[in-house]
Amino acid sequence: MSGYAVVNPATGERLADYPTMSEGDVETALAAADGAYRGWLRSSTVAERAALVRRVAELHRERREELAAIIVREMGKPLSHALGEVDFAADITEYYADNAEKVTGDTPIDILGEGTAVIRRSPLGALLGIMPWNFPYYQVARFAAPNIVVGNAIVLKHAPQCPESAAAIEQMYRDAGFPEGVYVNVYASNEQAATMIADPRIAGVSVTGSERAGSAVASLAGQHLKKVALELGGSDPFIVLSTDDMDSVVAGAVEARMDNSGQSCNAPKRFIIIDSLYDEFLEKFTAAMVACTAGDPFAEESVIGPLSSLAAAERLDAQVSKAVEQGATLVAGGTRDGAFYEPTVLTGVTQDMDVYREELFGPAAAVYKVASEEEAVALANDTAFGLGSYVYTTDPEQAERIADAIEAGMVYVNCVLADSPELPFGGVKRSGTSREMGLLAADEFVNKKLIRIA
């Protein structure tokens, strides 16, 4: 039985199996991508590539309902969230079509001597993308679109539970008019992915996923001197120091935590509240979390759906249970029903508990009380992760201080879910090494070639 399958986490029903590729298929995929890079991609103009990328964005919008339904079945995303993801993937793809000349253009250098110098960006070749299940379209869009615009070919290994959406994405690139090999979907095993990384026709690797996956791929890529981009986990802090509207703060906190049923790497997971506001925040936050409606992800009233799989729900359940065993207080939730997990709030988490260092990937949150700005920042930074962060304060100078002090790739002040195609996404520490989206994404896999003319 193939590892690539559509299993509806809401019902446990196995809907479809997709065969893992053969060794011959691996060679065919690599040859196609390398051929497209050395052929059409090298001879095409930026305008030609941008026009086809724009068509991919249009196809996302034309097939919006169909694409959304696929990922509801594959990983249980509530339908409204799935539709929003398709829309965002279209916006990201269109952004790179709109900005193609900007991301590929020369950068002049002011030189000390006579003559001229520029940095010219040129593609590296075929790239292997290894993508996760939690945002099947969005994750691919922010990797594939900028790299195809700059002239790289894409070989895409999606998560084993997302074979149908993986095929749908490849079909959109074909239907947009891209020649064979520009975008190649592969149902590859981990061993076959390792073979691809080692192959000289693969010029670089991008991984979005767990720390374990990122470490394994980075190690292998390093052995073969390949550029690797990593987007890994997060345990983002949500700091509240002052507010004129606690209800609005709580609404933002719950909306961000429950995005994608709590399965978002840059969702806030640790809520760090100044002592004078702690009781009010905890009471209102707990009530709002508990009020989130779980159910059939196709139903309009469902705020959250199941976790992506039974195994994912069991992992979260084990983390919460162990936290309680080690002394944390279960304020609400903590119950699993199949792949569904009840919205959960923990307090009393201390440094000696496992959950203090872990990422809670699901509808669970830990709430902490602090006595000062300095304590809040110290707690926020006391993690191996450094992806995103959120700060709520009515003091602009305090916001600037905290934004400077937080060890994270992104800081959002008085807002949540404010991602946008032009804003770079990425982290530091064990959260990753690269940036996606925005203009920075197109600089990850290019040769920044110096051309100096006397």
Q: List C-alpha distances in Å: 220 to 170, 185, 215, 262.
A: 26, 21, 9, 31
- Report the chain's C-alpha Rg in angstroms: 23
CA-nearest of 387, 436, 435 to 407 is 387
In single-letter form, the type of residue at position 56 comes to V
From first to last of the 454 residues of the chain, give the pLDDT tens digit. 458 999 999 999 999 999 999 999 999 999 999 999 999 999 999 999 999 999 999 999 999 999 999 999 999 999 999 999 999 999 999 999 999 999 999 999 999 989 999 999 999 999 999 999 999 999 999 999 999 999 999 999 999 999 999 999 999 999 999 999 999 999 999 999 999 999 999 999 999 998 989 999 999 999 999 999 999 999 999 999 999 999 999 999 999 999 999 999 999 999 999 999 999 999 999 999 999 989 999 998 899 999 999 999 999 999 999 999 999 999 999 999 999 999 999 999 999 999 999 999 999 999 999 999 999 999 999 999 999 999 999 999 999 999 999 999 999 999 999 999 999 999 999 999 999 999 999 999 999 999 999 9
Q: What is the DSSP letter of 291?
A: T
Nearest Cα to Cα of residue 342 among 380, 289, 296, 390: 289
* DSSP code of residue 393: -
Q: For residues 444 and 450, is the Cβ–Cβ distance under 8 A?
A: no
DSSP state of 20: P
Amino acid identity at 416: V
| Residues 252, 150 share a domain | no
- 425 occurs within a structural domain: no
Contacts of 22 (CB under 8 A, 6+ apart): none
CATH of the domain at 378: 3.40.309.10
Do 161 and 192 sit in the same domain of this protein?
yes
The verdict on 372 and 286 lying in the same domain is yes
Please indicate, yes or no, whether the overall pTM of this predicted structure exceeds 0.85: yes
CATH number, domain at 134? Answer: 3.40.605.10
Amino acid in the structure at residue 232: L
Same domain, 449 and 358: no
**What is the distance between the alpha carbons of residues 450 and 454, in angstroms, rounded to a whole number?**
13
181 part of a folded domain: yes
Residue 39 DSSP one-character state: I
Selecting among 74, 85, 231, 359, the annotated active-site residue is 231
- Tell me the DSSP string of 137-148: THHHHHHHHHHH
Active site residue 265: yes
Could you tell me if 244 and 389 lie in one domain? yes
Cα distances (angstroms) measured from residue 255 to each of 129, 228, 415, 432 = 30, 33, 11, 25
**Are both 185 and 263 inside the same structural domain?**
no
Residues ≥6 apart with Cβ < 8 Å to 202: 30, 125, 126, 127, 128, 155, 196, 226
Find the domain containing 287 and state its range: 236-420
Task: Identify whether 49 is part of a domain.
Answer: yes
Report how many domains make up the chain: 2
Active site residue 162: no
Partners of 453 in the β-ladder: 116
Domain assignment present for 426? no
Exactly one of 162, 265, 358, 373 is catalytic; name it.
Answer: 265
Q: And the tokens for 153?
A: 């070919």
Q: Tokens 């896999």 map to which residue?
A: 445
Same domain as 328, residue 203: no
Query: How far apart, in whole angstroms, are the C-alpha atoms of residue 155 and residue 443?
Result: 18
Q: Please choose, from the candidates 186, 102, 100, the residue with its C-alpha nearest in 3D space to the C-alpha of residue 140.
A: 186
